[in-house]
Structure 1
Amino acid sequence: MIHEVSLRPVTEADLDLFEREFATAEGTGPHQWFGFTPALRMRRRLAEDGLLGPEGGVLSVTADGATVGRTEWFRSAWGRPDTSSCWTVAIGLFPSARGLGTGTRAQRQLLDYLFDHTRAERVQAWTDHANIAERRALEKAGFVQEGVLRRAQWRGGAWHDQVLYSALRGDRS
């Protein structure tokens, strides 16, 4: 049983773990496998800004002190970016950390972090319509389902529906 989940800045050792753990469809899970991707860009960004910048960032997820995944956020817009931007968040957990409540707790912490340290009014996330575990985790973390984005994501040779969720600053309890 996991007792403590926390977020912290990414280290070089974390990147090594991410490369190893997320290198296959089994590692990412069926709803996050988009094929092989180079890690060089993430390593460059770690050296440049620690993966924390004005357009988004990445934090390591730890459970009882061990790195078990990452969470990230990036700027999105529903109109002109200068006036209508929000954060979109995502999470990737190692297979050993799934199904234990780790994702719910990490996503709640990220939501709190973004509302506490940025001027965001809206934070959003989406997940595959068939990803029931992530949908439950988002709802438990404080996100509200808004709707379905039909055939919005290309993955595994087919288009997939995505479910859109949001949390607003005023929703916090």
Structure 2
Amino acid sequence: MADTTVVSGDRVSLRPVERDDAELLQRSTTDPEIRVPLGAPKPQNRNQATEFIEKTVEEGDNIAFVVEVDGESVGFVMVEIRDYGRPELVYWLLPEYHGQGYGTDAVGCLVDYVFRTVDCHGLQAVTFDFNDASRGVLERLGFSREGRLREAAFVDGSYVDVLRFGLLRREWDAAQSD
């Protein structure tokens, strides 16, 4: 199989999402350790995951990659391109890869790729207040907390706060030149 790596970080590589990745993406809606922090409201079957790939990845302007560690598919990163406002990051890793720095490396690779290839002034991301790991990834990459939406999402049986983060291109560029 040909190497389809688009971006390489210190510990991860990013490659385009393929339809064969539907099983991996399906896990984000079925595994509670991923589904709850993402706020995925209901499980998806493989056909629904394939439909997500077709509509969200293949047909739109979004930029999506599978995260690989040593050739193993371990997660997903995407930037949703919008007609208004900043593009928004979406990301997750399989639970067995949490807490090892792979998320920061993968999201950092995505941010760098987007700022090199997309004409945008900045990026945004949202996370739930209880998701310390996601908040840590964003803060380590230089994102600033820009707001809190109180009890804005119903997740796993209760209302939770949603935190909004942002990063401007000039802030990323300054941090990369240090």
- Please classify the TM superposition score into its range, dividing by the shorter chain length: 0.7 to 0.9
Shift of 1:50: 5.5
Contact 2:28 2:35 in 1 (8 A): no
Matched, 1:161 2:161: yes
Whichever structure has more strand as a proportion of its residues is: 1
Whichever structure has more helix as a proportion of its residues is: 2
Query: Percent of pairs identical after alignment?
Result: 28
The one-letter amino acid of 1:163's match is L
1:37 aligned to 44, 49, 68, which one?
Answer: 44
Shift of 1:91: 0.7
* Cross-structure match for 1:53: 60
* Cross-structure match for 1:152: 152
Q: Deviations over 1:11-44 (max 9, x none)?
A: 2332222324642313x15322422134435424
Matched, 1:123 2:123: yes
Shift of 1:157: 2.4
Higher mean alpha-carbon deviation, 141-150 vs 14-23, is at 14-23
The one-letter amino acid of 1:147's match is G
Shift of 1:154: 1.8
- Give distance in 1, aligned partners of 2:115 and 2:128: 25
* Cross-structure match for 1:23: 30
Shift of 1:61: 0.7
Matched, 1:69 2:75: yes
- Give distance in 2, aligned partners of 1:154 and 1:165: 20
Structure 2 stretches lacking a partner, 5+ long: 1-9
- Deviation above 6 Å: which 4+ runs of structure 1? none
Structure 1 stretches lacking a partner, 5+ long: none
Aligned residue-pair number: 163
